[in-house]
Amino acid sequence: MRTLSPTSYLISALALALAVCVAALQANVPSSAIIVAKDDSGNFTTLQAAVNSVKQPNTNEVIIYVKAGIYTEQVSIKSNFINIRITNNLDAKTWQVQNPVSTGASAESGTVKVRGDFFKVFDITFDFIWGQGRAIFQNSEFHVGRRPNGSTGNGYVTANGNNGASHKASWFLMLDSSISADRGMNALLGRAWGSIAAGTWQGV
Ligand SMILES: *[C@@H]1O[C@H](CO)[C@@H](O)[C@H](O)[C@H]1NC(C)=O
Ligand SMILES: *[C@@H]1O[C@H](CO)[C@@H](O)[C@H](O)[C@H]1NC(C)=O
């Protein structure tokens, strides 16, 4: 999955339907990359610690390589030009961020909250796509899964926000991807959040 945002957006874990994005891109790890590994074999054991280590203001792209594993943390990315990607991991599903926070306002419950510009991410799994800003999701796999408590019912795969007054342009583009759902789950592709929210599905 790749996201780009010249303004700001949030990728949030709302307790609605779970929309999981997985992509299978491959990239090389440059020697300057910051390595995150749960087993302490890298520079940091959490993604947040790696993000925090990037000096601000940052004008060069920084690559954070995350080794496979399930990371239970809430990640807040405020920096610009951060490039997070996962490599050497053909099974992208083994890399996942899980949110320890399941309640609260949408902006607080996000698993990975991105407020910096030019954020890109490859090959990771998120659980809901919500926010204001511009983002492209390409070569991704969207999946509407059952809720942890097993309940079915309507949900939303994405929720773009744009109210015009405070955000000049905000949209999500889902490109060249696939979508599936667990049996019994129903989901709408988008939930408009604000008066001029936009979501476009192309080649999905
Ligand atoms: C299951 O969780 C959803 C939120 O994810 C909630 O709306 C629903 O009421 C819950 N159902 C039960 C039976 O607890
Ligand atoms: C990460 O750890 C490696 C190995 O100890 C080290 O060579 C490298 O400088 C570290 N990178 C950063 C950005 O701290």
Residue-level pLDDT, tens digit, the chain, 204 residues: 434 333 333 333 322 223 333 333 334 678 888 999 888 999 999 989 999 998 888 888 888 888 888 888 888 888 777 877 776 554 444 556 666 665 667 677 777 888 888 888 887 777 778 888 889 999 999 998 887 788 887 788 999 988 876 656 788 999 999 999 988 888 999 998 888 888 999 999
Ligand nearest to the CA of 150: 1
Atom nearest to 35 CA in ligand 2: 1
How far apart CA 78 and CA 117 sit, in angstroms, is 8
Residue 103: CB within 6 Å of ligand 1? no
Question: Residue 18 maps to which CATH number?
Answer: 2.160.20.10
Ranges of H-type helices in the chain? 47-52, 106-109
What pLDDT, on a 0 to 100 scale, did the predictor assign at position 137? 94
Ligand nearest to the CA of 44: 2
Distance from the alpha carbon of residue 59 to the mean position of ligand 2, in angstroms: 20
Range of the domain at 74: 2-202
What pLDDT, on a 0 to 100 scale, did the predictor assign at position 99? 63
Would you say the C-alpha torsion 46, 82, 98, 91 has a positive or negative sign?
Answer: negative
Pick the closest to residue 81 from 118, 44, 107 (CA basis). 118
Residue 152: CB within 6 Å of ligand 1? no
Number of domains in the chain: 1
Contact at 8 Å (CB) between 178 and 141? yes
> What residues are paired with 10 via a beta bridge?
113
Name the phi and psi angles at 180, rounded to 5: -150, 170
